Chains A and B, each alone.
Chain A
Amino acid sequence: MDNKEVILLKKALDRQKRARKQAEVILEAKSKELYDTTRHLKEVNTSLEHLLNEKTDELNSAFLNIIDPYIVMDLESNVLSMNTSAKEFLGCDHNKESINLSKMVHKDFFEYTIESMGSLLEAGVLKNYSAKITTKDNKEKWVQINASLIYDTERKPIAAQGIIRDITQEMEIKELLKEQKKQLNIIVEHSPLGILLSINGKIIKANTTFSSCLGYSHIELKQKKLDDISEAEDIRLNEDLTCKLRLGALDKFSVVRRYFRKNGGSVLARTMVSAVKDSEGKIEYEVALIEDITKERASEERLAAEREKYSSIIANMNLGLLEVDNDDIIQMANQSFCRMSGYEEKELLGTKAARLLGKDGDVIIEESIERRKKGISDSYEVALTDKQGNKKYWLISGAPRYGSDKELIGSIGIHLDITNQKLLEHQKEQLVKELEHSNKGLQDYAHIVSHDLKSPLRSISALATWIQEDYKDILDEGGNENLNLMQEKIASMDKLISGILDYSIVNSSKLNTEKVDLNTVVAEVGETIFIPDHVVLSVPRKLPIIYSDSTKMRQLFQNIIGNAVVHIEEEKGLVEVLYDENKTHWLFTIKDNGVGIPKEYHKKIFEIFQSVGNNERSTGIGLSIVKKIVDRYEGEVWVDSEVGVGTEFHFSLCKATCSM
C-alpha cells in the first residue's frame, strides 16, 4: 500500500470516526429527549391513575353504599361486579358463582329483554326497562333497570352497568289499583244512576247508563257541557249552589234538572253534584249522580191528585170517618162524623171514642181493639145517643191502621147511620109477627069452618036418605024428586066446602119435591074423574118427569081436565094434553073441542067462586086453585077459547122451581 493510499484511508477513517461521534451525539441527545419524555409521561400517567382510582373508589363506594342494587355485567349478561344490595336482592354473589342475568328473566319478558339489549347497544343507555325476574332464591320480583354501556379506550362497548329498582310492591299496587279500577268501573257502568265526571261543567266522562239514557255516544258527550244537554228546573237556585260549590262553601248539592235526549224528548232527573278536591283543596272534578225521577214525579203528581180526590170524597161522603190510636183517642173525624154525632171536630179530637157509646162503649171498643191487634177488620152495630140525646144506631166498619213501618198505630172506622133502617126493621118485624098470627087464625078458621059445616051437612044427607027409605011408600014422585035434588045440593055443598078447604091450604101447605111422572098423573086423573062416553082423553106426546109436589100436580091437571071433559057437546069429544118447553119453563096445553068460553070470562074464571054459566057441577073454585098452584111454581095460566069451537088452557111451570 503506497503512502498516498494510506493517507486517503486515514482521512476516510477519520471522517467515519467523526461521523460516528456525530451520530453518537445525536443519538445521546435523542436518548435524553426520549428519557425526559418518558419520565414526563410516567408522571402524567401516575397522576391520571390516581385521579382515576380516586374516581373509581368514589364511584365504587357510592355504588356500594347506595340502597339500590348496582350491577356491572359483560355484553353476554354475565355479572362482573355487584354491590351488597344487589347480592341481597338477587340472592346470589358473583364472587361465589357465575351469574347470568338473562337466565333470571321471566319467560314472558324474553323477547322484550332481547329488544331492550339491542336498544342499549345502539343508544348506549337503557331507561326504565321493567320486567319480572326469578331470583336465585326463587322469588318472583318486578324490577326496573336503568343501564348504560361501558366503553374501552377505543370507544368499543365492553360492559354494561345498571341500577336495579325493586318495583314489586309498586307493581302489586299497580295491579291492585288496576283491579280496583276495574271493580269501580263495573260499579260505575252497572249503576242504575247516571254518573258524570266534569271539570267546570265540561263533561270528561260519563257512564253507559247516562249515555244510553240520552242516546249520545261517549265521544259526543265529551264534547258537551252539562248545560248543553240539560237545564236546571230552578235555574237561579242551581246557579247559586254551583257558585257555592266552586267557592268551597259547599261539598255537594242536589237539584232537579231536565235532560234533553239526542232524539228529542227529555228526562227529569235528580242531580247530585259533589266536588272532588285535590290535596290543596282545589276542585279537580265535579261528580254528578243522575237519577231519573220522571216516573217518580209523575206518580207523585198522580198520588197528590188521588189524595186530593179521596180527601174530598172523605170530607163530603155521607159516612162518618174516625181515626183513633191504640188507646182509642180520636185523631181525626170527618165532617159527616161530626154531623152524625152532633159534636164539633174540636170537641172530638183527643177524647176517647168509646165515650160516645155510653156505658157499654168500653167493652165494645176493647173487643174491637183485640181484633185489630190480630189484623182483623170487622163491622158491628152499636146503639148510642148523640150530643142532643137522640137515640141512634150506627153500623161501624173497623179496620186496623198501620204506620209507615207496618206497625199497628190504631184503627180506622167508617160509620153509617142506620137509625132509620133500624126503626123500619122494627116495624117490619112487628108487622110480620102480626101477619103470621092473623094468617094462622084465618087458616084455623077455614079449617074449622069447613069441618063444622061438613058434619051437619052429612047429618042432613043421612036424614034425607032415611026419609026417602023410610017413607018411600008414602012419598010420591014429586017428594022423591025433591029429596033427590036435596041430595044433589048436599053433594054440591060438600064439594064447595072441600074446595074452600083445598083453596085455603093450597097456599100455605108445604110443597114436597119429588120425582113426578106427569104421564102417570094424567092417567090417574083419567081414571078418577068422570069422563062421558063420547069423550076421549089423549096424550099425543109423552110428558116429562119433573121434580115437584105430586098432590099439587094432580090437583092442577085434575081441575083443568075435569073442566074440559064435562063441557063437550060434540058427538065425538077430544081432550088432548100437549106439552112443550123453553129454557126456563115447562109449557102445557089442555085442548078440547068443547063449547068454549065467552071472551068476557077468560080472566074471571080464575077468580074464586066464578064459573061460566050455571052448571051445577061447577063450584067455581077449581080454576082458582089452578091459578094458585101455577103461581107457586112461578108460572102463568091463561086461556084461548072460542065459543062453539073449543078451549085451550095454557099454563107454564118454572123449571128452576120444579127442580128445587
Chain B
Amino acid sequence: MKGIVFTEFLEMVEEKFGLEVVDTIIETSDVPSEGVYTSIGTYDFNEMVALIGSLSEEVNMDQGTLIHAFGHYLFSSLGKAHPEVIENFNNPINLLYAIEDHIHIHVQKIYPEAELPTFKILEKTDTSISMIYSSSRGLYRLAHGLIEKCFEHYNSTASVAYELLKADGTEVKFDVVQHG
C-alpha cells in the first residue's frame, strides 16, 4: 500500500485524536515499520489493517466509521497534493466516470507498483452513475467517503447507496444520484 495512505492516516489520527493516540496505536499494533512512513514508500497492507484495528480499540469506534471518515479526509489531502487531477473535470460524475480509465492510468505512471482497486461502470447519466467497486482490500467504506467528499468538493450533494455483492466487501455496487 502506498506510503501516502499511511502518512495521511496518521495525520488524520493526530489531528482528530492527538499525538498520544498516534503513538499508542503504533506501539500497540507493533508494525514492522515501527510507524515510520514516507509518502513515496510502499508498505504492507496488513500494517494499515493493524493500525486501524488499534485505533478502533483505542478510541472505541467501529472500523467502518473510521475508514469512512478517513475517506473524507483523504480526498482533501489528495486534492491538495494533485489539484490538476480535479481541475480536469468540471463535475463529480465525470470525475467518477474517469477514475478507472484516466486517473488510475496516471497513478500507474508515477507508481508502477501500485495495486489499485477497479471501478466498473454499469450505467451513467448526467446526474447519476452506477459502478462496481472491486479490490482484494475490501476498503469500500474508504471509497464511499471519497465519493461523498468528491460531490462536496464541487459544492454538490449526492445520495450514495452501496450494496455488498460479496460479504467480505471485496465487490460492492455503488449507486450514486446527484442532488442539484
A273 vs B40: C-alpha distance when bound (angstroms)? 99
10 more contacts with CB within 8 A, not counting A8-B19, A12-B23, A19-B36, are A8-B20, A11-B23, A12-B22, A15-B26, A15-B35, A18-B34, A19-B7, A22-B36, A22-B41, A27-B40
Q: Is A9 an interface residue (CB 8 A)?
A: yes
A626 vs B10: C-alpha distance when bound (angstroms)? 192
A19 vs B6: C-alpha distance when bound (angstroms)? 12
A19 vs B41: C-alpha distance when bound (angstroms)? 9
Please indicate the chain B residues that have their CB under 8 angstroms from the CB of A15 in the complex. 26, 34-36
Q: Is B38 an interface residue (CB 8 A)?
A: yes
Interface centre among B26, B34, B36 (most CB of A within 10 A): B36
Q: Is A23 an interface residue (CB 8 A)?
A: yes
Q: Is B37 an interface residue (CB 8 A)?
A: yes
A8 touches B41 (CB 8 A): no
Q: Is A20 an interface residue (CB 8 A)?
A: yes
Using an 8 Å CB-CB cutoff, how does the interface string of A18-38 with B read, 1 for contact, 0 for none?
111011001100000000000
- Taking the closest CB of chain A, its distance from the CB of B85, in whole angstroms, is 22
- Can you list 7 contacts pairing A with B, beta carbon distance less than 8 Å? A8-B20, A12-B19, A12-B22, A15-B36, A19-B37, A23-B40, A26-B41
A18 vs B41: C-alpha distance when bound (angstroms)? 12
Please indicate the chain B residues that have their CB under 8 angstroms from the CB of A22 in the complex. 36, 38, 41
Interface centre among B22, B38, B40, B41 (most CB of A within 10 A): B38
A22 vs B36: C-alpha distance when bound (angstroms)? 9
Q: Tell which of B20, B34, B38 touches A20, judged by Cβ atoms closer than 8 Å.
A: B38
Q: Tell which of A9, A12, A26 touches B40, judged by Cβ atoms closer than 8 Å.
A: A26
Query: Count of B residues near A, CB < 8 Å?
Result: 14
A23 vs B26: C-alpha distance when bound (angstroms)? 20
A26 vs B40: C-alpha distance when bound (angstroms)? 8
Residue of B nearest to A15 (CB): B36
Near A by CB (< 8 A), chain B positions 10-26 give 19-20, 22-23, 26
Using an 8 Å CB-CB cutoff, how does the interface string of B28-59 with A read, 1 for contact, 0 for none?
00000011111111000000000000000000
- Taking the closest CB of chain B, its distance from the CB of A8, in whole angstroms, is 5
- Taking the closest CB of chain B, its distance from the CB of A14, in whole angstroms, is 8
Please indicate the chain B residues that have their CB under 8 angstroms from the CB of A9 in the complex. 19
A20 vs B40: C-alpha distance when bound (angstroms)? 10
- By a beta-carbon cutoff of 8 Å, the part of chain A in contact with chain B is 8-9, 11-12, 15, 18-20, 22-23, 26-27
Please indicate the chain A residues that have their CB under 8 angstroms from the CB of B20 in the complex. 8
- Taking the closest CB of chain A, its distance from the CB of B21, in whole angstroms, is 10
Q: Tell which of A11, A12, A19 touches B38, judged by Cβ atoms closer than 8 Å.
A: A19
Please indicate the chain B residues that have their CB under 8 angstroms from the CB of A8 in the complex. 19-20, 23
- Taking the closest CB of chain B, its distance from the CB of A24, in whole angstroms, is 9
Question: What is the number of contacts between chain A and chain B, taking CB atoms within 8 Å?
Answer: 30
Residue of A nearest to B38 (CB): A23
Residue of B nearest to A30 (CB): B40
A22 vs B7: C-alpha distance when bound (angstroms)? 13
Residue of B nearest to A27 (CB): B40
B23 touches A18 (CB 8 A): no
Q: Is the interface of B mostly helix, strand, loop or mixed?
A: loop
Q: Is the interface of A mostly helix, strand, loop or mixed?
A: helix
A27 vs B37: C-alpha distance when bound (angstroms)? 14
Please indicate the chain A residues that have their CB under 8 angstroms from the CB of B23 in the complex. 8, 11-12
Please indicate the chain A residues that have their CB under 8 angstroms from the CB of B35 in the complex. 15
- Taking the closest CB of chain A, its distance from the CB of B60, in whole angstroms, is 21
Residue of A nearest to B18 (CB): A8
A190 vs B95: C-alpha distance when bound (angstroms)? 88
Residue of B nearest to A12 (CB): B19
- Taking the closest CB of chain B, its distance from the CB of A9, in whole angstroms, is 7
A23 touches B19 (CB 8 A): no
Please indicate the chain A residues that have their CB under 8 angstroms from the CB of B39 in the complex. 23
A26 vs B39: C-alpha distance when bound (angstroms)? 11
- Taking the closest CB of chain A, its distance from the CB of B18, in whole angstroms, is 9
Which 7 residue pairs spanning A and B have beta carbons closest together?
A23-B38, A18-B36, A19-B38, A15-B36, A19-B36, A22-B38, A8-B23
- Taking the closest CB of chain A, its distance from the CB of B136, in whole angstroms, is 25
B38 touches A26 (CB 8 A): yes
Near A by CB (< 8 A), chain B positions 151-170 give none
B41 touches A23 (CB 8 A): yes
A8 vs B20: C-alpha distance when bound (angstroms)? 7
Please indicate the chain B residues that have their CB under 8 angstroms from the CB of A20 in the complex. 38
A8 vs B36: C-alpha distance when bound (angstroms)? 14
Please indicate the chain A residues that have their CB under 8 angstroms from the CB of B37 in the complex. 19
Please indicate the chain A residues that have their CB under 8 angstroms from the CB of B26 in the complex. 15
- Taking the closest CB of chain A, its distance from the CB of B166, in whole angstroms, is 35
A20 vs B3: C-alpha distance when bound (angstroms)? 12
Residue of B nearest to A24 (CB): B38
- Taking the closest CB of chain A, its distance from the CB of B138, in whole angstroms, is 27
A19 vs B7: C-alpha distance when bound (angstroms)? 10
- Taking the closest CB of chain B, its distance from the CB of A463, in whole angstroms, is 194
- Taking the closest CB of chain A, its distance from the CB of B127, in whole angstroms, is 39
Residue of B nearest to A7 (CB): B23
Residue of A nearest to B22 (CB): A12
Please indicate the chain A residues that have their CB under 8 angstroms from the CB of B41 in the complex. 22-23, 26
Near A by CB (< 8 A), chain B positions 109-132 give none
Please indicate the chain B residues that have their CB under 8 angstroms from the CB of A18 in the complex. 34, 36
- Taking the closest CB of chain B, its distance from the CB of A619, in whole angstroms, is 174
Please indicate the chain A residues that have their CB under 8 angstroms from the CB of B36 in the complex. 15, 18-19, 22
Residue of B nearest to A20 (CB): B38
A8 vs B23: C-alpha distance when bound (angstroms)? 7
Near A by CB (< 8 A), chain B positions 34-93 give 34-41
A27 vs B41: C-alpha distance when bound (angstroms)? 10
A148 vs B169: C-alpha distance when bound (angstroms)? 61
- Taking the closest CB of chain B, its distance from the CB of A7, in whole angstroms, is 9
Residue of A nearest to B6 (CB): A19
Residue of A nearest to B35 (CB): A15
Please indicate the chain A residues that have their CB under 8 angstroms from the CB of B34 in the complex. 15, 18
- Taking the closest CB of chain A, its distance from the CB of B113, in whole angstroms, is 12
Please indicate the chain B residues that have their CB under 8 angstroms from the CB of A19 in the complex. 7, 36-38
Please indicate the chain A residues that have their CB under 8 angstroms from the CB of B22 in the complex. 12
- Taking the closest CB of chain A, its distance from the CB of B61, in whole angstroms, is 22
Please indicate the chain B residues that have their CB under 8 angstroms from the CB of A12 in the complex. 19, 22-23
Please indicate the chain A residues that have their CB under 8 angstroms from the CB of B19 in the complex. 8-9, 12
Please indicate the chain B residues that have their CB under 8 angstroms from the CB of A26 in the complex. 38, 40-41
A446 vs B22: C-alpha distance when bound (angstroms)? 209
- Taking the closest CB of chain B, its distance from the CB of A81, in whole angstroms, is 40
Please indicate the chain A residues that have their CB under 8 angstroms from the CB of B7 in the complex. 19
A18 vs B35: C-alpha distance when bound (angstroms)? 10
A26 vs B43: C-alpha distance when bound (angstroms)? 13
